[in-house]
């Protein structure tokens, strides 16, 4: 449930409520709105203690949250969350956010060339994997720490925030040190211990939807991160598994209005993994922005046939430039700059 405080409640009054929440064994999550202070009270059967809070004169109202996810729900926070990922990029704002780069880092010169090309076309976040989840244990699994260092150097040189995946808690600590956003891939979207640890790190998290996750399960995964104190979460729809084989996955754009209706978190769309086919990436990016997404993630490689992962879905520089031209037009229609 959440408590809406009366206007003019003093720090002392607020601390009294926070002490009570702690004393009852619950967790408090404060959300400061423009002219309203709200405290989320999370714990087992909090509703049983509703009256205690209703009796406090600093509390204006006590509202139960009907959904099983609480802190990420629209019921808890009406205003859209804007995730500041650094270097002037704010996901969920009126900026068109385009995260682009190779699937995996192979060589620093390739990464630098890609970053320069995508930035020149208008991308504002550099994506690149150093720890790669691969279906086959024999496939290239990323350059690891060496790759992260390359990513940091290139991101700094081009003044672009960076995003990179972590599959384990130890990797997450390393990614947090070298990159601006920690990506949780589809395969780890329900790795609850990892999610909890990410909640403790003070870094934005890009949470991809698992390939067989319902929207409610997706939101519960985000709740794992939020419940540990980190609400800098960007959701990412990247395709789900269906009976369809013409595409690698089925990109579920329904996710956009559903996310906007039930949560306050921003959502971006990844048509590269969602389709798995280079020529489908542009149309689905266009559809993503038209549906109200906050941005897209697109894989780009200078020579896709030499890419060590996901070459077939990677755009070359010219294709990315062409995509950005049209993406900018459609973004204006939906109020993104």
Is position 310 an interface residue for Mn ion (rule: CB under 5 A)? yes
Q: How far is the CB of 134 from ligand PEP (least distance, A)?
A: 9
Q: Site residues (CB under 6 A) for ligand PEP?
A: 103, 129, 133, 185-187, 208, 238, 270, 273
Q: How far is the CB of 208 from ligand PEP (least distance, A)?
A: 4
- By C-beta, is 40 or 129 nearer to ligand PEP? 129
- By C-beta, is 81 or 272 nearer to ligand PEP? 272
With CB cut-offs between 5 and 8 Å by kind, which of Mn ion, ligand PEP, none does residue 282 bind?
Answer: none
With CB cut-offs between 5 and 8 Å by kind, which of Mn ion, ligand PEP, none does residue 248 bind?
Answer: none
- By C-beta, is 197 or 310 nearer to Mn ion? 310
Which positions ≥6 away from 234 have C-beta within 8 Å? Answer: 83, 85, 91, 92, 181, 204, 205, 206, 207, 265, 266, 267, 268, 294
Q: How far is the CB of 118 from ligand PEP (least distance, A)?
A: 15
With CB cut-offs between 5 and 8 Å by kind, which of Mn ion, ligand PEP, none does residue 238 bind?
Answer: ligand PEP
Stretch that binds Mn ion, among 22-30, 68-76, 308-316, 318-326 (CB under 5 A): 308-316
Query: Looking at beta carbons, which residue is closest to ligand PEP?
Result: 185
With CB cut-offs between 5 and 8 Å by kind, which of Mn ion, ligand PEP, none does residue 294 bind?
Answer: none
What are 139-147's contacts with CB under 8 Å, separation 24+? 139/309, 140/104, 140/308, 140/309, 142/104, 142/105, 143/104, 143/105, 143/106, 145/174, 147/104, 147/105
Which positions ≥6 away from 84 have C-beta within 8 Å? Answer: 90, 204, 232
Is position 103 an interface residue for Mn ion (rule: CB under 5 A)? yes
Helices 317-333 & 278-290 angle (0-180, nearest 10)? 20
With CB cut-offs between 5 and 8 Å by kind, which of Mn ion, ligand PEP, none does residue 203 bind?
Answer: none
Contact 315, 281 (CB under 8 A): yes
Stretch that binds Mn ion, among 57-65, 82-90, 158-166, 309-317 (CB under 5 A): 309-317
- By C-beta, is 174 or 310 nearer to Mn ion? 310
Q: How far is CA 92 from the centre of its chain?
A: 10
Which positions ≥6 away from 30 have C-beta within 8 Å? Answer: 37, 38, 39, 40
With CB cut-offs between 5 and 8 Å by kind, which of Mn ion, ligand PEP, none does residue 237 bind?
Answer: none
- By C-beta, is 43 or 312 nearer to ligand PEP? 312
Query: Looking at beta carbons, which residue is closest to Mn ion?
Result: 103
Q: How far is the CB of 239 from ligand PEP (least distance, A)?
A: 7
161 vs 307: CA distance, rounded Å: 22
With CB cut-offs between 5 and 8 Å by kind, which of Mn ion, ligand PEP, none does residue 185 bind?
Answer: ligand PEP
* First-to-last C-alpha distance (Å) of the chain: 36
Binding site for Mn ion (CB under 5 A): 103, 310
């Amino acid at each position: 449930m959440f408590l809406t405080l009366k206007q003019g409640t003093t720090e002392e009054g607020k601390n009294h409520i926070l002490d009570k929440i702690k004393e009852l064994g619950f967790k408090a999550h404060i959300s400061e709105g423009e002219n309203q202070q709200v405290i989320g009270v999370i714990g087992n059967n909090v509703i049983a203690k509703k009256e205690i809070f209703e009796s406090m004169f600093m509390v204006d109202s006590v509202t139960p949250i009907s959904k099983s996810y609480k802190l990420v729900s629209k019921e808890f926070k009406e205003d859209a969350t804007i995730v500041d990922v650094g270097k002037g990029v704010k996901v969920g704002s009126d900026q068109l956010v385009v995260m682009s780069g190779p699937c995996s880092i192979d060589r620093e010169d390739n990464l630098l060339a890609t970053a320069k090309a995508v930035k020149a076309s208008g991308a504002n976040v550099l994506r690149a994997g150093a720890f790669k989840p691969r279906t086959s244990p024999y496939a290239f699994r990323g350059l690891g720490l060496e790759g992260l260092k390359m990513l940091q150097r290139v991101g700094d040189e081009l003044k672009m925030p960076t995003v990179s995946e972590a599959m384990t808690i130890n990797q997450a600590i390393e990614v947090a040190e070298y990159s601006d956003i920690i990506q949780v891939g589809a395969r780890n979207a329900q790795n609850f211990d990892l999610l909890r640890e990410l909640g403790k790190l003070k870094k934005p998290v890009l949470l991809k939807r698992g390939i067989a996750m319902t929207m409610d399960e997706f939101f519960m995964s985000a709740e794992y991160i939020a419940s540990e104190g980190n609400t800098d979460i960007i959701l990412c729809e990247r395709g789900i598994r269906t009976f369809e084989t013409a595409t690698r996955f089925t990109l579920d754009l329904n996710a956009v209005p559903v996310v906007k209706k039930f949560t306050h978190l921003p959502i971006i769309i990844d048509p590269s993994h969602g389709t798995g086919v280079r020529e489908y990436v542009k149309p689905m990016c266009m559809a993503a922005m038209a549906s109200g997404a906050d941005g897209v993630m697109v894989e780009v490689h200078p020579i896709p046939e030499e890419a060590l992962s996901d070459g077939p879905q990677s755009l070359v520089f010219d294709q990315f430039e062409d995509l950005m031209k049209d993406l900018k037009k459609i973004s204006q229609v939906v109020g993104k700059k």
